Structure 1
Amino acid sequence: MRYLLISLSVFILSCSSYPKRQQFEQTEITKSSHINPYFSDPAEDYVYKADIGVFKKNFSGILIVKKLGQNKHRVVFTTEMGNTIFDFLFLTDDFNVNYIVPDMDKKILIRILEKDFKTLITENPFLKNSFKKNQETISECLLHNSKHYYYSEEQRLYKIIRTANGKEKVAFLFSGIDRKKATNIKISHKKLDLNILLKAI
């Protein structure tokens, strides 16, 4: 009987939603001009020193993100010598691969990179719920048909968590925040050998 109760408790916990697991307190939804303010200024070129580790391979170079217009961004990753590693164009719900090196030209990897960079550049994903925990405000948003949780403290976004089945799948961490720019960005996949480190130049 005791074993049955323990098993039942574990099952219920495993099926619980991410907000319940994190003990969030639901609040009234409040609209923000930018849920994600990073990469939102068309007058600025966002340039980062980048390291991408994927499937036991490492790619280092310069990542440039440029907002070209409403819901339009170009993301280019080059070696320090200027050779293109990949060149992506995002336009609303469209995604184009202008170029990608053969070592990265795999459908599953391209799809993951598309989702990761789309998360970074999307300013106002569909807002479903708002929560709070201690001094944090958390916005539950839907992006790529996945739930994302945007953590802000003192009106500064410092973390995005993508979930699946109520569990953390990908973490986007921002630090060295100055107004609408993050100096350091880390994207970490929990069950996949893919990590992206960005440091503003």
Structure 2
Amino acid sequence: MFKACQIFVRSLTMSAAKIPEVVFVLGGPGAGKGTQCNNIVQKYGYVHLSAGDLLREERTKPNSEFGELIENHILNGTIVPVEITCSLLDRAMQNSKNPNKKFMIDGFPRNEDNLQGWTKAMTGKAEIKGVFFFDCSKEKCMERCLNRGKKGSGRSDDNEDTLRKRLDNYVTDTVPIIEHYENLGLVYKFNSMQSPKNVFLDVQEAIEKIGW
């Protein structure tokens, strides 16, 4: 009986000590990252964290010390300092009540600075299980985002000038990060020019391969 109790207590301790498992979700603005993350949440119950959404939420908080800085970066289509982004992501994972401890981080890391910042801040705090790369043409990304803006997305970056800057930054800064993880065998690439339904079929195959 005593031995069984020891095993039970050890099991609880191991469960409590389990670090979050993370899949990075990358692709250009409008590539369908948010749509597929929502599909994964509904089917598997995992947690979707959007780096962009966390930053936008933070900038609207009254008296936020980072609010004005974040707003300027978003409007200019530039990257918010990695220390801020990692802090918000870490806080969101630590505060999550989801028992799976499995997180999709959407739109991060976007550049080398993000990658180095994550490595410095999060090594030992989270395990990277894979990188989901949603591949979509610049033209289609632009079309989707502009349509989203016309429908009242409420996002200040859903305008043509900002989108062009974001797409240019994506090609220059984020594509090399995808190539980095591809060299590590962690990238799962999806043709997101397909219908969302067909893309999600491919996503489910990748989740099975990961054993996630």
Tell me whether the two structures share a fold, i.e. TM-score over 0.5. Answer: no
**Greater helix share, 1 or 2?**
2
After TM superposition, the score normalised by the length of structure 1 is 0.26
After TM superposition, the score normalised by the length of structure 2 is 0.25
**Greater strand share, 1 or 2?**
1
